[in-house]
Amino acid sequence: MRLQKFLSSAGVCSRRKGEEYIKNGRIKVNGRIITQPGTKVDPDIDQVEIDSRQVCLEENIVYIAMNKPLGYVTTCEQPGDKIIMDIIDIPERVYPAGRLDKDSTGLLLLTNDGSLHHRLLHPSFDHEKEYEVTVGRPISEGALRKLGKGMPLMGTKTRTAQIRRLSSNRFRIVLKEGKNRQIRRMVRKVGEHVAALKRIRIANIRLGSLDEGKWRYLTEKEKKELLNNQQ
């Protein structure tokens, strides 16, 4: 793990502030002052100190909702691309629970709760994900029915989905699964193409009025409902 990430994960400071501490000679690893931010440490072996005070990993469990901007990828590191982790500057390490395509926007949940992460990703837990879809031209009722009743895709059949028309070329779809680029592939199957795709809900968590590129911590009520749904 990079030293600045270790400091962030231990709740000492953000990654950016950690880089400052390292450059200013405030950090020691195994008794030696380190001034290079990219230095790697092993949390199970190496002893890290800040101003002669030992630092240990004790992460707080956090839950975050983000409105992912267009053009960002949901991986934690990807050279040459803008990543969502550039937007969030907090001490804890969090990971996206699921993904959104680079060309999609909307709700993304991030957490360091490994159990919740697994349950949100696994289709057996039936978590609903709701999207607003804009297609390039008016879409027929027949095409919407096909999207809703399930169709062959990537060697299997998609599960039934709830569909609600919003306008001639916009609709909402609620899925209980998340195959790679599933909605775009489904729409292509009915002879259309997706012009814009935005996720507006995951389980009980709604995007609401959160601006694109912004994030917030889940409320206590949201956390309680989300975690209760995992039982």
Residues acting as catalytic residues: 101
Q: What is the DSSP letter of 153?
A: E
Nearest to 165 by CA among 187, 183, 138: 138
φ, ψ at 205 (rounded to 5°) = -95, 125
Separation of alpha carbons 99 and 181, rounded Å? 10
Q: Distance between CA atoms of 173 and 171, rounded to whole angstroms?
A: 7
Distance from C-alpha of 92 to C-alpha of 101, rounded to nearest angstrom? 24
3-state secondary structure 47-61: CEEECCEEECCCCCC
> Which residue type, as a one-letter code, is found at position 107?
L
47 CB-side CA count, 13 A:
7
